[in-house]
Amino acid sequence: MPGGVRDSGRPGAGAPDEQPRPAPPTGTTEALDELLLGGPRTLSARDLARRTGIELEVVRIFWRTLGLPSSGDDEVMFTERDAQALALARALIEEHGLEPSTVVTVIRSLGHTSDRLALWQVEALVEDMETRFGLDDTSARLLVLDRLRDLAPLLEQQLLHSYRRQLAAVADRYAAEFGHLRDVATDGNLLPLARAVGFADMVSFTRRTAGLGSTDLSHFVQRFETAARDVVVGAGGRVVKTIGDAVLFIADTPGVGAAVALGLADAFGTSLDVEAAKGAGGLAEGARGVTPVRVGLVWGRVLSRFGDVFGPSVNLAARLTDVADPSSVLVDAATAQVLGGDPRFRLTEQPARELPGVGEVVPYRLESARR
């Protein structure tokens, strides 16, 4: 690609005139179209409808469901690969019998996830270029645009590998959990999945991040999210989502959920001298300190949809998080009863609390029995 450069992998390598320079944008997007879209944009929505034999309104719905911008039906913006993707979506209905509404949900999940993924990865690359080469934000973005031709195939391969591994992991869990229930009648009124669901919420996120610049704030949030994911996965749980200053996780058993919750409270709390950090001020604490969390955990039944989980258990876990002390874990009475026979844990009844949207709840403090 014109303007492409090779770097030494070290910031500031070489003389100043050897610093990488972003390529001019002319021609860059056309080259990326060839790589990412399989060729030039030669088709309109109306052309796609004629090519695939699919109604024009369905073409519009498909594109809108992917979350991509579109204009008039005669605007030339699609490629042959877009026509192939549309035909494959139709095959889900005609050859595999899926309902059209289900196909819309599947396509929407792809659009939502890939949109976030692409933006997340590109922003990480921009930050990398800024840091390694001392570039301003605009120059870093132009350099990323230039480098995408080389990086995109590698990112695509990693995405496909990750997706296949995640799909296999879901299949493994379903086989282990439901394989023996093929001929067993279940109560259709119950939410389908028994799960431990928990929230870990940063203490005083607004105060801790007040005054941080974009770089420090990015590092702060990234450090929290990375550490939280490592703890959750390491203990056997799964991250459902992160919300800036909080993480929602689930686990397949009460014991694993308890281990995840205690791991989070411990990882973000035991090495922090809160008073000393307060004395250092919000900026020092936010940029360099460990951030304590409050954790709420509930064992109950949930509904899993749209990459998220729903149900009373999720709401209760969030409300328990609100009233937990820093670096502590609260569970409800029913979860405490389930965990009560596990010698790894100690549970201590707390005063009853009125929780918004839930009512009066008697929480229990969950601790490791080894302490």
- Convert the pLDDT of each residue in 25-44 to its tens digit: 344 578 888 889 989 999 99
Spatial CA neighbour of 220 closest among 288, 295, 279: 288
The pLDDT tens digits for 194-249 are: 999 999 999 888 777 777 777 778 777 888 888 899 999 999 999 999 887 899 99
55, burial (CB in 10 Å: exposed 0-12, middle 13-18, buried 19+): exposed
pLDDT of residue 26: 41
The percent of residues in the chain predicted with pLDDT above 70, rounded, is 84
Tell whether the model's pLDDT for residue 122 goes beyond 70.
Answer: yes
Mean pLDDT for the chain? 84
pLDDT of residue 15: 40
Backbone phi, psi, residue 252, to 5° = -85, -15
- Better pLDDT: 16 or 352: 352
Written as six digits, the tokens of 291 are 């951030």
Tell whether the model's pLDDT for residue 18 goes beyond 50.
Answer: no
Tell whether the model's pLDDT for residue 282 goes beyond 60.
Answer: no
Please state, in angstroms and rounded to a whole number, the distance separating the CA atoms of residues 118 and 45.
Answer: 24
Please state, in angstroms and rounded to a whole number, the distance separating the CA atoms of residues 17 and 222.
Answer: 33
The pLDDT tens digits for 137-185 are: 999 999 999 999 999 999 999 999 999 999 999 899 888 877 766 655 5
Question: What mean pLDDT comes out for the span 113-127?
Answer: 93
The pLDDT tens digits for 70-98 are: 778 999 999 999 999 999 999 999 999 99
Task: Kindly indicate the confidence band of residue 283, based on its pLDDT and cuts at 50, 70 and 90.
Answer: very low
Report the range of poorest mean pLDDT among 16-25, 42-51, 238-247: 16-25
Tell whether the model's pLDDT for residue 4 goes beyond 50.
Answer: no
pLDDT of residue 3: 36
**Residues paired with residue 298 on neighbouring β-strands, in sequence order:** 197
